């Protein structure tokens, strides 16, 4: 009988212990246009038995086939069986791929056994249009492009002299009809000098907003690609595009505030890249017989104004529903009074697929309250500060005009507080057409940062349903989770995520509301690591790093913001800001294992470092042309810029050495390592005294120097701790000093103090913001004080993420999850209770899967549930004494526990339940 069972077991196929899933190419699921002929593949592996532990991929095999031929025919590439745990960043190495080529790919994997998994279901990708010649479509514009609709004096909320005329233009509509035989596939590539939407046969091709996004247009313009097969009909078809100024020729940055002219003399703040907008569309129709036809923008398209009578990102949008062009993007529309489009001479800029994620509506929010503040003035509270627009629902007579204003906070008397928007008008208006069934409208080419919405001119009484908040931002997959036993921290965490969402808007911006919304590099480098805990930002940052490098100054420095449509005199580079050019690619490599971002920008990073060396040959630290310093610090002792500069110089050099090694440049690695040591010792010589005290004796100075590993921790960390205690356990740090403060304390024996700062409720602290009603992270600790109102409206944003960088500490030092090697191949799990916190839990998605740690203290015991993704090694350090048990038995020898020594363990993948005495 026994033998019988053995025979049966032998006869059954041995199931593979793991299988591949979540296939991605260049970070996207089914990319329709990748910007390289050698795209990278990735997948995750999952155990067949969900309870299995220590799952590792031993080998993989990839097959790539042309989509039409399938895997059975001659493949474009077969990697063969590759003995490797790699599941990511695997570069295509098959037959040469060209513009527009489409391919399918699949992967199978091996675990410890000899049995391969099943092939994954196929995924697909297409190569984008890589060469200028691939574009036959022409750039087209409307005649009278420069006709302005509005010229009024710019409102200036902060009481300074007027900024001259406000110039806002209408959107333009373009259309073209064509005949089509049945198609098997229809693909459209589209872009604009401006922002656009596309419609085919009366339907939008996508919910994407503000495409093609913002880039350094003078160098690079992105385009979108959509599969529109389902929208095509046999016979008559029509395609239409709507075009508005957007970042290209509308108001951007603080040009208006700072009196900077664009390309049109006498007009400040707009026309930074070009004066007239244009659109370029190429629709490829493929037939079953292999033939194809391309519909392109050319002078046969017709153009007209329409219902969007004003459109501007910062100023807002106006819509007159009486001017709607009903049916304009469907066949059969009478366009006899439209004008022919005109060709615009092209641009020399590179035209490339957008490598990031689209901006789109992500979520809807019902208003929590509405009050009639004054007769006819209705103020809605969404209960959450967001970026986006509102959808208006209204019924009334033709010509009724509803004005929509936005604010982040209210004045004490209940009015909107819009002073902090400065020169951003941020007003949308809707003129009704008088539809008896009611009308709904949502602005298209603008966005706002707001929690409160005011309607005036609303016919009748506005109920809660008159306004719905539409949350819009770059669609970075959100994947982080954090909660703990302190409700204040939980609220703070939600505020961080909301602020990240509001500011990851095509580029990492400083704020979503006022006349700025710029890719400030200092804010970006301070927050980038925190952001990676909350969302997958790999492709979002891939895109922005191009903007940043495109806009590096010719002399080598990275700018203070990118894209940089303008620059004030003396606002070119700043220590702690320009360093984003090195810190951000390093972070993306560390988190995602992506070395391509390093290689791509290596030359510019080197130029930057070379310039850094010439500007400070004696290594004393240089002074910038901007004087941001430790921006918005609240202490009396300021951190001098040469201090910051030298510290960042040393840090950059170290990161450059690590990156050089990662891309196989040992010579550069040695050079930068030597530089790092030289600058570090220069730093010590100038600033470090024998007793561990720094000559710049403030919290930021110690935090930066410790975090960058420029000084030994012991005595100096004690000095830092002393400073904090003397200050009543409160911070004095600004943008640059706050991010390293808690990590530096926790790494140097002062984790208790880090906890005290984290839970502090008095000004200045995170708790103070939360107690004063924050639903997002504020630019200043006291941006708003209950009872007294808004502070410093001339520079006050309620959605500014820099101080939210402490999110990194909450995940890595409190809940205890962090990377220990690039790409999270090795992780460190080290939960550390502090303050009054008795429970914390955090999790996130790594390139291998879900990583998490949830711990609590109960009756003198420390209990932790730890989740390690497949293909990952975890070094665990638990804050306990004595024997650790797992699943009720001693940890040593438990499945997946590769080693256990007191409170330190090495684990493979799986979910573990640990318990031990504190």
Tell me the closest approach of the beta carbon of residue 540 to ligand RAM, in angstroms: 19
**Which H helix or E strand runs over 454?**
strand 448-456
Contact mark string toward ligand RAM, 686..725, x via CB under 6 A: ----------------------------------------
Q: Among 621, 781, 617, which residue's Cα sits nearest to residue 696? A: 621
Tell me the closest approach of the beta carbon of residue 605 to ligand RAM, in angstroms: 21
Q: Which is nearer to ligand RAM, 317 or 579 (CB)?
A: 579
Query: Cβ distance 30 to 66 under 8 Å?
Result: no
Q: Which of residues 800-859 bind ligand RAM (CB under 6 A)?
A: 800
The correct pick among 628, 707, 809, 862 for binding ligand RAM (CB under 6 A) is 628
Query: Look-up: residue for tokens 């509005």?
Result: 150
* 516 included as an active-site residue: yes
Query: Look-up: residue for tokens 């203290």?
Result: 857
Q: Which is nearer to ligand RAM, 412 or 794 (CB)?
A: 794
Tell me the closest approach of the beta carbon of residue 774 to ligand RAM, in angstroms: 17
Radius of gyration of the chain (CA): 29
Q: What is the DSSP string of 401-444?
A: EEEEEEESEE-TTS-EE-GGGTT---EEEEE----TT-EEE--S
Tell me the closest approach of the beta carbon of residue 738 to ligand RAM, in angstroms: 13
Instruction: State the Cα–Cα distance between residues 273 and 262, nearest whole angstrom.
Output: 8
**Catalytic-role residue among 177, 779, 845, 886:** 779
Q: Measured between alpha carbons, how far is residue 505 from residues 280, 511, 518, 827 in Å?
A: 23, 10, 10, 30
* 762 included as an active-site residue: no
**Which H helix or E strand runs over 304?**
strand 302-305
Tell me the closest approach of the beta carbon of residue 518 to ligand RAM, in angstroms: 7
Does 630 help bind ligand RAM (rule: CB under 6 A)?
A: no
The footprint of ligand RAM on this chain (CB under 6 A) covers a number of residues equal to: 9
Does 92 help bind ligand RAM (rule: CB under 6 A)?
A: no
In 718-869, DSSP assigns E strands to 784-785, 789-790, 817-819, 826-829, 839-846, 849-858, 861-868
Q: Which is nearer to ligand RAM, 42 or 796 (CB)?
A: 796
Does 558 help bind ligand RAM (rule: CB under 6 A)?
A: no
Tell me the closest approach of the beta carbon of residue 517 to ligand RAM, in angstroms: 9
The correct pick among 248, 631, 648, 862 for binding ligand RAM (CB under 6 A) is 631
Q: Which of residues 479-518 bind ligand RAM (CB under 6 A)?
A: 510-511, 516
Q: Which of residues 782-811 bind ligand RAM (CB under 6 A)?
A: 800
Instruction: State the Cα–Cα distance between residues 713 and 749, nearest whole angstrom.
Output: 9
Tell me the closest approach of the beta carbon of residue 511 to ligand RAM, in angstroms: 6
Q: Measured between alpha carbons, how far is residue 263 from residues 192, 274, 275, 555, 844 in Å?
A: 18, 7, 7, 24, 46
In terms of Cβ atoms closer than 10 Å to its own Cβ (0-12, 13-18, 19+), residue 456 is middle
Does 527 help bind ligand RAM (rule: CB under 6 A)?
A: no
Q: Among 282, 502, 292, which residue's Cα sits nearest to residue 382? A: 502
Tell me the closest approach of the beta carbon of residue 262 to ligand RAM, in angstroms: 20
Q: Measured between alpha carbons, how far is residue 125 from residues 32, 35, 100, 211, 600 in Å?
A: 6, 11, 10, 21, 22
Does 223 help bind ligand RAM (rule: CB under 6 A)?
A: no
- Distance separating the N- and C-terminal Cα atoms of the chain: 51
Does 624 help bind ligand RAM (rule: CB under 6 A)?
A: no
Tell me the closest approach of the beta carbon of residue 525 to ligand RAM, in angstroms: 10
Q: Which is nearer to ligand RAM, 424 or 656 (CB)?
A: 424
Instruction: State the Cα–Cα distance between residues 866 and 907, nearest whole angstrom.
Output: 10
Q: Which two tokens stand for residue 239?
A: 């395609």
Beta carbons within 10 angstroms of residue 854's beta carbon? 20
Q: Which is nearer to ligand RAM, 65 or 580 (CB)?
A: 580
Q: Among 409, 404, 498, which residue's Cα sits nearest to residue 447? A: 404
Query: Cβ distance 538 to 588 under 8 Å?
Result: yes
The correct pick among 352, 523, 551, 594 for binding ligand RAM (CB under 6 A) is 523
The correct pick among 20, 396, 522, 556 for binding ligand RAM (CB under 6 A) is 522
Tell me the closest approach of the beta carbon of residue 522 to ligand RAM, in angstroms: 4
Q: What is the DSSP string of 348-361?
A: -SEEEE--S--EEE
Instruction: State the Cα–Cα distance between residues 633 and 734, nearest whole angstrom.
Output: 3
Q: Which two tokens stand for residue 554?
A: 């010719």
Tell me the closest approach of the beta carbon of residue 516 to ligand RAM, in angstroms: 5
73 upstream amide cis, omega within 30 of 0: no
Q: Measured between alpha carbons, how far is residue 729 from residues 561, 631, 694, 722 in Å?
A: 34, 21, 20, 9
In 150-271, DSSP assigns E strands to 150-153, 165-168, 172-180, 185-193, 195-200, 203-204, 220-227, 235-244
- Choose the binding region for ligand RAM from 116-124, 519-527, 617-625, 859-867 (rule: CB under 6 A): 519-527
Tell me the closest approach of the beta carbon of residue 877 to ligand RAM, in angstroms: 36
Q: Which two tokens stand for residue 47?
A: 């155990």
The correct pick among 520, 558, 784, 855 for binding ligand RAM (CB under 6 A) is 520
**Catalytic-role residue among 177, 516, 571, 808:** 516
State the catalytic residues: 516, 779
Site for ligand RAM, rule CB under 6 A: 510-511, 516, 520, 522-523, 628, 631, 800
């Amino acid at each position: 009988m026994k033998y019988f069972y053995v025979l049966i077991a032998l006869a059954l196929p041995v199931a593979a212990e793991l299988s591949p899933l979540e296939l991605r190419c260049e970070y996207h699921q089914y990319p329709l246009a990748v910007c390289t002929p050698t795209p990278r593949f990735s997948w995750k592996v999952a155990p067949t038995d969900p309870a299995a532990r220590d799952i590792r991929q031993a080998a993989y095999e990839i097959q790539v086939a042309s989509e039409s031929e399938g895997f059975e025919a001659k493949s474009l590439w077969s990697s063969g069986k590759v003995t490797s745990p790699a599941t990511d960043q695997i570069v295509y190495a098959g037959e040469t791929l060209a513009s527009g080529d489409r391919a399918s790919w699949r992967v199978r994997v091996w675990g410890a056994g000899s049995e391969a998994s099943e092939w994954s279901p196929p995924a697909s990708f297409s190569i984008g249009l890589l060469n200028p010649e691939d574009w036959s479509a022409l750039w087209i514009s409307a005649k009278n492009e420069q006709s302005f609709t509005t010229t009024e004096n710019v409102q200036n909320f902060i009481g300074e002299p007027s900024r001259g005329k406000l110039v806002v233009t209408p959107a333009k509509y373009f259309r073209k009809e064509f005949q089509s035989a049945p198609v098997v596939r229809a693909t459209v590539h589209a872009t604009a000098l401006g922002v656009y939407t596309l419609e085919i046969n009366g339907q939008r091709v996508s919910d994407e907003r503000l495409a093609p996004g913002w880039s350094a247009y003078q160098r690079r313009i992105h385009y979108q690609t959509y599969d529109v097969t389902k929208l095509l009909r046999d016979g008559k078809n029509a395609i239409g595009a709507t075009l508005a100024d957007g970042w290209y020729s509308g108001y951007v940055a603080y040009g208006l505030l700072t009196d900077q002219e664009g390309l049109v003399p006498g007009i400040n703040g707009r026309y930074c890249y070009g004066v007239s907008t244009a659109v370029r569309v190429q629709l490829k129709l493929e037939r079953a017989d292999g033939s194809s036809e391309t519909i392109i923008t050319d002078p046969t398209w017709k153009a007209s104004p329409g219902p969007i009578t004003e459109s501007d990102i910062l100023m807002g949008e106006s819509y007159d529903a009486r001017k709607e062009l009903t049916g304009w993007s469907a066949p059969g529309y009478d366009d006899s009074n439209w004008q022919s489009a005109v060709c615009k001479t092209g641009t020399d800029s590179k035209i490339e697929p957008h490598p990031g994620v689209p901006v789109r509506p992500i979520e809807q929010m019902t208003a929590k309250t509405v009050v009639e503040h004054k007769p006819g003035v209705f103020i809605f509270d969404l209960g959450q500060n967001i970026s986006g627009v509102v959808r208006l629902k209204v019924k009334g007579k033709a010509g009724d005009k509803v004005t929509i204003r936005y604010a982040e906070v209210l004045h004490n008397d209940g009015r909107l507080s819009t002073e902090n928007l400065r020169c951003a008008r941020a007003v949308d208006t809707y003129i009704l057409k008088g539809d008896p069934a009611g009308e709904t409208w949502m602005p298209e080419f603008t966005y706002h940062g707001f929690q409160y919405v005011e309607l005036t001119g609303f016919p009748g009484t506005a109920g809660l349903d008159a306004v719905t908040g539409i949350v819009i931002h770059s669609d970075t997959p959100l994947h982080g989770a954090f909660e703990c036993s302190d409700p204040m921290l939980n609220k703070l965490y939600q505020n961080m995520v909301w602020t990240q969402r509001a500011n990851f808007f095509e580029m990492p911006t400083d704020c979503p509301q006022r006349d700025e919304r710029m890719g400030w590099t200092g804010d970006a480098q301070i927050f980038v690591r925190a952001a990676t805990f909350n969302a997958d930002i790999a492709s979002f940052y891939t895109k922005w790093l191009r903007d940043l490098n495109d806009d590096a100054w010719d002399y080598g420095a990275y700018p203070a913001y990118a894209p940089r449509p303008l620059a004030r005199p003396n606002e070119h580079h700043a220590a702690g800001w320009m360093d984003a050019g090195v810190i951000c690619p390093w972070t993306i490599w560390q988190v995602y294992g992506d070395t391509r971002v390093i290689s791509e920008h290596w030359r510019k990073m080197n130029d930057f470092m070379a310039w850094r060396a010439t500007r400070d040959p004696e290594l004393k630290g240089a002074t910038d042309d901007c004087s941001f310093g430790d921006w918005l610090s609240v202490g009396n002792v300021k951190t001098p810029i040469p201090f910051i500069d030298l510290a960042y110089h040393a840090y950059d050099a170290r990161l450059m050495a690590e990156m050089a090694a990662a891309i196989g440049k040992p010579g550069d690695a040695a050079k930068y390592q030597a530089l790092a040591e030289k600058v570090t010792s220069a730093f010590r010589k100038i600033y470090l005294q024998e007793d561990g005290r720094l000559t710049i004796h403030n919290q930021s100075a110690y935090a930066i120097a410790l975090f960058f590993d420029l000084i030994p921790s012991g005595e100096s960390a004690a000095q830092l701790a002393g400073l904090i205690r003397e200050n009543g356990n409160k911070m004095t740090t600004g943008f640059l000093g706050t991010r390293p403060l808690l990590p530096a304390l926790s790494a140097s024996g002062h984790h208790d103090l880090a906890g005290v700062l984290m839970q502090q409720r008095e000004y200045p602290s995170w708790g103070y913001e939360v107690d004063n009603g924050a639903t997002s992270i504020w630019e200043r600790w006291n941006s708003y004080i209950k009872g007294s109102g808004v502070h410093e409206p001339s520079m006050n944003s309620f959605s500014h993420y820099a101080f939210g960088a402490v999110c990194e500490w909450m995940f890595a030092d409190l809940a205890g999850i962090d990377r220990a090697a690039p790409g999270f191949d090795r992780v460190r799990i080290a939960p550390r209770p502090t303050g009054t916190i008795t429970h914390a839990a955090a999790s996130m998605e790594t390139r291998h899967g879900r990583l998490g740690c949830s711990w609590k203290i109960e009756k003198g015991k420390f209990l932790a549930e730890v989740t390690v993704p497949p293909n990952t090694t975890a070094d665990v350090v638990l804050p306990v004494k004595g024997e650790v048990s797992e699943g009720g038995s001693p940890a040593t020898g438990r499945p997946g526990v590769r080693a256990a020594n007191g409170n330190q363990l090495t684990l493979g993948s799986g979910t573990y339940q640990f318990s031990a005495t504190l």
